[in-house]
Structure 1
Amino acid sequence: MKTVSITFLSAGMLLCMSTACSARAPTPDNQPADLAYLTTQHIPSAGNLVMARRVRDKEGEHVLVLNRKAGPSPAKPKSGRVEHIELDVGYYSRQGSAWKAEWSLHDFVDCPGLDSVAEFFVPNVGITDLNGDGKAEVTIPYKLFCGGGVDSYTVKVILREGTLKLAIRGDSLVKLPGQEPFGGEHQYDKTLLAPTYALYKQHMDKVWDAVSIDVRK
């Protein structure tokens, strides 16, 4: 996979399904957006803005927005601890002078009395055109954790292309000094295993390998 920026993985991938094909698909045009831009465009951003990208493909203009919101668990609102964390992703398409939500993603942890983690793997968020059809795919990897010991994180790699949603879900591979690694199991959406999506799976496997290794001291 060719890297096109320090924060985004590009996939100038094969234009055909054969692994022998050497043609490359261009990366959809995309650039950073900030909270000021979202505000002027009346695009919602709840919680803390993690990142935003303006994307242009053959379908038109889009905006990708990642937000994170953290606070006490609703079960213990006065605890003073961060025990409830929400991750939200919105993908908006320009419709005339307005923006319409094309798809969204929401996940969270709620861990009263326990340690809680919910984070996007921002450097591995990707805007690609894997099959060269001119439409952007968006890959969102993130982790979730709710516990109190040395356990694996839940890891998810989600790919969206319009109404299409593909996912790899599983556990991080934990590596501790002097011990055998544990965890690392993962499952694919059934659709992702279809030959039609071989390029998507190849791409998502690379993202999974990049984000699921959990080295601890």
Structure 2
Amino acid sequence: MKLSFLTTVLLAMMILPATLFAQVKTTKLDKNTIPKSIKYEGHIIDAVSFTDKDGEHIVVTTESGLTASKGADSEGYRDAALHAYHYKKTGTELKLTWQTYDFVKDCPVDVTASYLPKSFAVTDLDSNGKAEVWLMYKTVCHGDVSPSDMKIIMHEGDKKYAVRGTNKVQVSPKEYAGGKFIYDEAFKTGPKAFREYAGNLWKNNLMETWK
């Protein structure tokens, strides 16, 4: 039986994940198009502008990369840090309304503080007109095959949500370590759509890839 074009389109829309329709339209920015009034540290990883019911917004995420630790006894030690900045347009000015900062300091072995590729997103999962900004990253100082600390941080307006745990690593042919996570109270009591999105995000980035 031949399906009409309209029926085919409707069926395709039913198959597509609901989160696809909850994505907020963003405009990519770079160091040349970010307004000069916005201050940030590190190398830009993601930078976007978007509009929701609260107005115009800009989010910038950065990483420091590896830097030498400071201090008399820090020779051979390294640091790594990451930042996220959210600015909201108020009148003609851009005001910093929240920021994220996490780091690893004084590490004598392998050190990482980095965002997970393709994890940054701006959504409106609960369809209330207020955007949710999603960040996911890992931090670790280790010289062995062990899990990294991993976090999801989400902001909807002035409310913060967090998931904390570790990624999962294969430590022997049949053994794995890590992989557990905990929703904070905001996620536990918030919309189910937030927990589902966070859970899928964690699942998609669960295994350490050792790149």
Please list the CA deviations of residues 140-163 of structure 1 after superposition, one character each: whole Å capped at 9, or x if unmatched.
Answer: 000001121111011101111122
What's the counterpart of residue 146 of structure 2?
151
Is contact 2:146–2:171 with CA below 8 Å preserved after alignment? no
- AA in 2 matched with 1:87: L
- TM, length-normalised to structure 2: 0.84
Please list the CA deviations of residues 120-156 of structure 1 after superposition, one character each: whole Å capped at 9, or x if unmatched.
Answer: 0130111000000111101100000112111101110
What's the counterpart of residue 26 of structure 2?
30
Query: What is the identity percentage for the equivalent residue pairs of Structure 1 and Structure 2?
Result: 26
- Bigger RCO of structures 1 and 2 (CA < 8 A, at least 6 apart): 1
**Greater radius of gyration (CA):** 2
Equivalent residue in structure 2 for 1:94, among 83, 89, 92: 89
Equivalences, count = 194
Please list the CA deviations of residues 28-72 of structure 1 after superposition, one character each: whole Å capped at 9, or x if unmatched.
Answer: 22110011112x441112121112011111111111101111311
Is contact 2:126–2:191 with CA below 8 Å preserved after alignment? no
| Aligned equivalents of 1:133, 1:103: Cα separation in 2 | 20
What's the counterpart of residue 44 of structure 1?
39
Q: Runs of 4 or more off by more than 3 Å in structure 1?
A: 75-81
Secondary structure of the residue aligned to 1:92 is strand
What's the counterpart of residue 4 of structure 1?
none
| Aligned equivalents of 2:172, 2:51: Cα separation in 1 | 45
How has the CA–CA distance of structure 1 residues 68 and 37 changed in structure 2, closer, same or farther, with 3 Å as cutoff? same
How has the CA–CA distance of structure 1 residues 120 and 77 changed in structure 2, closer, same or farther, with 3 Å as cutoff? farther
Equivalent residue in structure 2 for 1:206, among 196, 200, 207: 200
Asked if 1:71 is matched to 2:79, the reply is no
- AA in 2 matched with 1:165: K
Aligned residue runs from structure 1 range 121-132, under 5 A? 121-132=116-127
| Aligned equivalents of 2:44, 2:173: Cα separation in 1 | 39
How has the CA–CA distance of structure 1 residues 90 and 132 changed in structure 2, closer, same or farther, with 3 Å as cutoff? same
How has the CA–CA distance of structure 1 residues 71 and 164 changed in structure 2, closer, same or farther, with 3 Å as cutoff? same
Please list the CA deviations of residues 183-217 of structure 1 after superposition, one character each: whole Å capped at 9, or x if unmatched.
Answer: 112111022112x4211111100111111211459
| Aligned equivalents of 2:135, 2:39: Cα separation in 1 | 19
